[in-house]
Amino acid sequence: MQGEEAVLEEMGKRIARHRLNQNMTQQQLAREAGVGVMTVHRLEQGQSIQVSNLIRVLRILGLSVGLDSLLPDVPVSPIQQARSRQKVKLRAFPRKKKTKNTRWSWGV
C-alpha cells in the first residue's frame, strides 16, 4: 500500500503546483472542472478520488494530453488479425492444456 500512497501524494503535489502556476484557487478549479471543492482538496492531499473527477481536473489544467502516454493505445497483434480476418479480439480465453493422447485399457 505504501507505493500507491506515495504516488497519490506526489500526484497531488504536482496538480497543486500546476493549479497555483495558473493562479487558480481550489474553488475556481472545482467550479470549472464541475467537481466539489473537497474533491480538489482530497486530490491535492494525495487521497483517492474517482478517475472521472481526476480527468476533469486534468482537462482544466491542460494536462489531459499526458493521459495518452499514461495508457498508450495497443495495436492488434498481426497474428490475431490474420486469424480473425479483421475481427478485433474482444475477450481472452484460457489456454487449453495439452493432454497426451493415450488410450485407456484394463490392467495397465
Provide the pLDDT for residue 3: 87
User: How does 61-79 read in b/e, with b if 16+ C-beta sit within 10 Å?
Assistant: beeeeeeeeeeeeeeeeee
Query: What's the predicted TM-score (pTM) here?
Result: 0.67
Provide the pLDDT for residue 66: 84
Calpha distance 10→17 (Å, rounded): 11
What would the grid cell of residue 102 be? 493415450
Structural domains of the chain in order of their starting residue, each with its CATH number:
2-66 (1.10.260.40)
User: Mean of the per-residue pLDDT values for the chain?
Assistant: 85
Grade residue 100 by pLDDT with cuts at 50, 70 and 90.
low
Which amino acid, 12?
A: G
Provide the pLDDT for residue 29: 97
